């Protein structure tokens, strides 16, 4: 995992535990106060300050959960320190601390997959650090990929498998193992695990794979295979949600025809009003990708009956109007979308761009000035205004805007 991802996980864990256990961790004044203080510090990402209080609060029935949180904070500190000037001894000490906390949590609650998964991450981090420091021995080139996985990596994979066996409906454990296998260069095994995770949770957006940049095509394809194989075999996921998830995934893959099939099936399946609005919107996208614009417009109008999807449908219809060269109609639709979602910068920027093409730079200027006021820390309105001034030949104003843009994008600029 990346540094940012590990830090976010630790923060989320702290907040979740605060909500779940805050009213129950009152084993004496010392434990209760220590828990409260440690949780507040952890939720703010101040792991080093939070750790002593979290450990003091590890009492009573919540001891295992608090030890787990302490271990996660140690891993969070490790991820932060590894990119700094930490010595090998300091890094080893942090991993030993995480190992101790997670091991104790397991002894108190061995049936929980979360504690096994977290302990597996300790071993995985050791394996990654070894590979980073020493690389792969040349005498292993050409051998089976398992030969590249050291003792720590094998232990990590074994513990990840134990986490899955204990809680087979937790798709995050499958994701964790898939990423570890990718790290170890075991691509086929990783893709097999991606398929398994898709069978457990067919909604691609719920998985960590969606954060990969660029998103590997083979990962998306493997996920699509697993998600489709599981159709009708996910009792906790209504069929309409499963079909909608498949349709959205096919849109992401660029398979508009298959997406249309899935989404039309979803419309024939009982669901909520929100489900239907979402399905209509995605179906409109599938039809738009096929250049079936008249059909797409009709479907987007159906989606717009729901207030959540109304601005999205308006923006989509504006895009179709632009493709057809109907700029005035596109601007009208975008004005409606902006009124519904005044805080959505994308609508405003698109409106300004089209206003210039339509021959109304005054509309664009008014729109961009409003955007700068509403989003003072975002460089995009300023950059678009700079381009407008250059097109108009107002080089003096453009130079002033360029300096302002440089100040805004400076690392020292306030955020």
What's residue 57's pLDDT?
52
Task: Answer whether 50's CB lies under 8 Å from 41's CB.
Answer: yes
What's residue 368's pLDDT?
96
pLDDT confidence tier of residue 140, bands split at 50, 70 and 90 = low
pLDDT confidence tier of residue 307, bands split at 50, 70 and 90 = very high
pLDDT, average across residues 288-306: 98
- Domain positions in the chain: 1-84, 354-415
pLDDT confidence tier of residue 4, bands split at 50, 70 and 90 = very low
Between these two residues, 12 and 53, which has the higher pLDDT value?
Answer: 53
What's residue 373's pLDDT?
92
Between these two residues, 26 and 178, which has the higher pLDDT value?
Answer: 178
Between these two residues, 44 and 158, which has the higher pLDDT value?
Answer: 158
Evaluate the CA torsion angle 31, 32, 33, 35 in order and state its sign.
Answer: positive
What's residue 5's pLDDT?
47
pLDDT per residue as tens digits for the range 89-122: 999 999 999 999 999 999 999 999 999 999 999 9
Task: Answer whether 362's CB lies under 8 Å from 346's CB.
Answer: no
For residue 94, give every residue at least 6 positions away whose Cβ sits within 8 Å of its Cβ, in sequence order, or none: 74, 75, 77, 78, 81
User: Left, alpha or beta for 291 (phi > 0: left; psi -120 to 50: alpha)?
Assistant: left
pLDDT, average across residues 361-389: 95
Task: Answer whether 300's CB lies under 8 Å from 278's CB.
Answer: no
Say if residue 21's pLDDT is above 50.
no
Percent of the chain residues past pLDDT 90, beyond the cut = 68
pLDDT, average across residues 32-40: 44
pTM: 0.80
Tokens of 350: 């698109």
DSSP designation for 272: -
Between these two residues, 293 and 81, which has the higher pLDDT value?
Answer: 293
Between these two residues, 8 and 94, which has the higher pLDDT value?
Answer: 94
Between these two residues, 29 and 35, which has the higher pLDDT value?
Answer: 35
Question: Is the bond leading into 229 cis (omega within 30 degrees of zero)?
Answer: no
Say if residue 141's pLDDT is above 70.
no
Least confident window among 46-55, 172-181, 233-242: 46-55
For residue 290, give every residue at least 6 positions away whose Cβ sits within 8 Å of its Cβ, in sequence order, or none: 256, 257, 260
What's residue 27's pLDDT?
34
The mean pLDDT of the chain is 85
Between these two residues, 338 and 12, which has the higher pLDDT value?
Answer: 338
């Amino acid at each position: 995992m990346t540094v940012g991802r590990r830090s976010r996980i630790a923060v989320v864990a702290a907040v979740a535990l605060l909500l779940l256990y805050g009213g129950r961790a009152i084993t004496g004044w010392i434990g209760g106060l220590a828990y409260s203080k440690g949780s507040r510090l952890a939720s703010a990402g101040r792991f080093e300050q939070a750790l002593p209080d979290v450990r003091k609060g590890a009492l009573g029935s919540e001891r295992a959960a608090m030890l787990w949180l302490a271990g996660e904070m140690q891993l969070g500190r490790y991820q932060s320190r590894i990119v700094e000037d930490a010595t090998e001894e300091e890094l080893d000490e942090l991993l030993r601390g995480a190992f101790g906390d997670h091991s104790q949590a397991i002894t108190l609650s061995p049936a929980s997959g979360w504690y096994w998964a977290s302990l597996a991450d300790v071993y995985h981090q050791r394996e990654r650090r070894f590979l980073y420091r020493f690389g792969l021995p040349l005498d292993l080139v050409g051998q089976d990929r398992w030969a590249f996985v050291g003792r720590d990596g094998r232990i990590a994979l074994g513990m990840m498998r134990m986490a899955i066996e204990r809680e087979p409906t937790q798709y995050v454990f499958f994701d964790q193992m898939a990423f570890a296998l990718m790290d170890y260069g075991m691509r086929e095994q990783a893709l097999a695990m991606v398929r398994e995770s898709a069978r457990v949770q067919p909604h691609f957006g719920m998985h960590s794979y969606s954060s990969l940049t660029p998103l590997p095509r083979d990962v998306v394809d493997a996920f699509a295979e697993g998600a489709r194989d599981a159709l009708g075999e996910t009792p906790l996921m209504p069929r309409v949600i499963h079909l909608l998830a498949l349709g959205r995934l096919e849109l992401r893959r660029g398979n508009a025809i298959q997406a249309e099939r899935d989404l039309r099936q979803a419309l024939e399946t009982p669901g909520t009003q929100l489900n239907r609005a979402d399905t209509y919107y995605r179906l409109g996208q599938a039809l738009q990708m096929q250049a079936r614009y008249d059909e797409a417009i009709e479907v987007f109008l159906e989606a717009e009956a729901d207030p959540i999807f109304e601005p999205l449908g308006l923006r989509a219809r504006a895009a179709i109007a632009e493709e057809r060269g109907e700029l005035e109609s596109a601007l009208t639709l975008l004005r409606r979308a902006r009124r519904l979602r005044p805080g959505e910068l994308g609508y405003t920027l698109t409106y300004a761009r089209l206003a210039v093409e339509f021959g109304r730079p005054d509309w664009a200027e008014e729109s961009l000035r409003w955007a700068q006021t509403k989003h003072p820390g975002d460089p995009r309105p300023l950059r678009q205004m700079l381009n407008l001034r250059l097109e108009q030949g107002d080089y003096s104003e453009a130079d002033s805007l360029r300096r302002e843009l440089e100040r805004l994008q400076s690392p020292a600029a306030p955020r």
